[in-house]
Amino acid sequence: MGAMGLTLSRSGFLLTLAMSLGAVPTSGDARMQHALPGVELPARIESMIAGEAWQESWVGIVVMRPDGTVLYERMADVRMVPASNQKVLSAVFALDTFGPDYRPETKFWKEGDDIWVDAVGDPSLTSVQFAELRARFKPSPKSRVFVRSAFGDGYGPGWEYDDLPFRYAPRVTAFSADRAQFEVTHANGIVKAPAWAGVQVRHEPGLADATATFDREKRVVTVLGRLKADTPLVARFAQPDPTMSAALMLGGKLIRTDKVPDRAPDYIHKGDDMRTWVKNCLEPSDNLLAEMLLISAASKRTPLGTAPYAKAQAELTKFMTETVGVKKGAVRPDDGSGLSRHNLVSPRALAQVLRHAYSSPYRDVFVDGLPQSGEGTLRTRLKGMAVSAKTGSLDVVSALSGYVHGKDDESLIFSIMLNHHVVSTAQARELQDTIVGELLAWLDSERFYEREYVWCGSVEKDVSDPRTFAFADHRLR
């Protein structure tokens, strides 16, 4: 404490010392725009959200160092809808549960004409692989496919009915192929879907370009309009019953069971490892993979039965409070992907989850799995910046959470959550990107000042006179 009752921060003291030696750059130096690290950052962020558009919106922000030091917070403990930032929780939960090298194993047996399957949940299986298995097992017209699933089928809780026909909202099952989607294609004027999809396709020609709709209840795809000769693909939709479709791919009628043959399997399919699974989920924001991360990790910890989500929610909440250390009540999960509007998480809790991942052995796997600037869901955003972050969007919801990486291998953790705003999605993203750019500039400016204006030299033996201090080098480098 000085004579005038002022306390100087470390950076403030160093800058004052640099100023006394005439070592501070001129105002024309771009780095001077981000002077006084640790002092100006909150004010600069506040100035960005001071506009009228944000005054009656929920703007939750937390910025912290990897050691947990909070540099800025605003509405940090208010629970908000995270949209696809919920995938961050699912991915960290799964990585903590399985580790990055885990690969799900689906086991197959041939017993007479029948095929038996033990499905733990592998979203990487494809119809091409099933065609190879069908050739291997050679089913007959009498064949049945008995499937034991690690958890019951169902849609994510809170999913809106109108979303369910679309490929981004498929039924979540332990046994499926092609990400539980099917394609509608055309050739020689004939529109069709795979037989295993279990749907009918109707085409009504017209002058306008073709559009397609899918009635999930009636299992009817209707295509209206003119087909594009050079584009065979018409549309993609969610399979109405992925487990049934997988059984048909193998060549038999689906029979659900709770047992499998008591002998070594005839074939074991190993799916993608967890690092690939996480990247394929986070980078393009794949909802099915996120649901499978949540459900699979929960089923590893406790039997889920026929109603998996209730227990999965409880297991994820327990992990967040007991392992990550978030405050009780700061997280209320509903699904694994963020498609549900009933997910709630505070910005501080999201930042704590990111910090937990950053301090874990799988840090590089998780950070690399996030969209990088200019890639995945960030393909048009933050180009040229060293940023790894997960996006999230629903109506009046926009979120961006992740890491900015400085030039000296130092990173900051951030979570920016916007709810109840009335601006466009583009404007919400512009605010997030501007804040992230400021964080990166601030981090580099902090390192700049420490590198350029911090001197650690030898001290002469006689230090009774302050004038005998000898700095190794007090020139600008």
Please tell me the number of Cα atoms within 13 Å of 469 on its side-chain side: 8
- How far, in Å, CA of 127 to CA of 130, rounded? 5
- How far, in Å, CA of 285 to CA of 271, rounded? 19
Q: pLDDT-based confidence at 384, cuts 50/70/90?
A: very high
- How far, in Å, CA of 474 to CA of 29, rounded? 18
Residue 36 CB contacts under 8 Å (≥ 6 apart), including other chains = 11, 12, 15
Residue 300 CB contacts under 8 Å (≥ 6 apart), including other chains = 97, 98
The pLDDT of 416-434, averaged and rounded, is: 96
pLDDT digits (tens, 9 = 90+) for 184-238: 999 998 999 999 999 999 999 999 999 999 999 999 999 999 999 899 999 999 9
pLDDT digits (tens, 9 = 90+) for 166-185: 999 999 999 999 999 999 99
| pLDDT above 70: residue 456 | no
Exposure string over 123-150, b if 16+ CB within 10 A, otherwise e: bbbebebbeebbeebebeeebbbbbbbb
pLDDT at res. 448: 54
| pLDDT above 90: residue 39 | no
CB–CB of 116/139 below 8 Å?
A: no
pLDDT at res. 87: 98
Residue 307 β-bridge partners: none
pLDDT digits (tens, 9 = 90+) for 121-130: 999 999 999 9
Q: pLDDT-based confidence at 445, cuts 50/70/90?
A: confident
End-to-end CA separation in angstroms for the chain: 32
CB–CB of 274/95 below 8 Å?
A: yes
To the nearest 10°, report the CA torsion of 70, 73, 75, 80: -70
- How far, in Å, CA of 144 to CA of 256, rounded? 10
Q: pLDDT-based confidence at 337, cuts 50/70/90?
A: very high
CB–CB of 474/453 below 8 Å?
A: no
| pLDDT above 60: residue 161 | yes
The pLDDT of 70-89, averaged and rounded, is: 98
CB atoms within 10 A of CB 4: 5
pLDDT digits (tens, 9 = 90+) for 235-254: 999 999 999 999 999 999 99
Strands 181-187 and 190-192: antiparallel
- How far, in Å, CA of 43 to CA of 366, rounded? 31
Residue 317 CB contacts under 8 Å (≥ 6 apart), including other chains = 331, 332, 333
User: In this structure, which amino acid lies at residue 384?
Assistant: G
CB–CB of 455/469 below 8 Å?
A: no
CB–CB of 216/202 below 8 Å?
A: no
Mean pLDDT value across the chain: 88
pLDDT at res. 451: 54
The pLDDT of 129-144, averaged and rounded, is: 96
CB–CB of 440/449 below 8 Å?
A: no
Whole-structure pTM value: 0.85
Specify whether the backbone of 285 is left (phi greater than 0), alpha (psi in -120 to 50) or beta: left
- How far, in Å, CA of 391 to CA of 375, rounded? 12
- How far, in Å, CA of 182 to CA of 249, rounded? 12
| pLDDT above 80: residue 472 | no
| pLDDT above 50: residue 62 | yes
DSSP class per residue in 398-448: EEEEEEEE-TTS-EEEEEEEEES--S-HHHHHHHHHHHHHHHHHHHHHHHH
User: Which of 163, 117, 98, 79 minimizes the C-alpha distance to 295?
Assistant: 98
CB–CB of 39/11 below 8 Å?
A: yes
pLDDT digits (tens, 9 = 90+) for 266-288: 999 999 999 999 999 999 999 99
Q: How many helices (H) and strands (E) does the chain have?
A: 11, 18
- How far, in Å, CA of 476 to CA of 273, rounded? 50
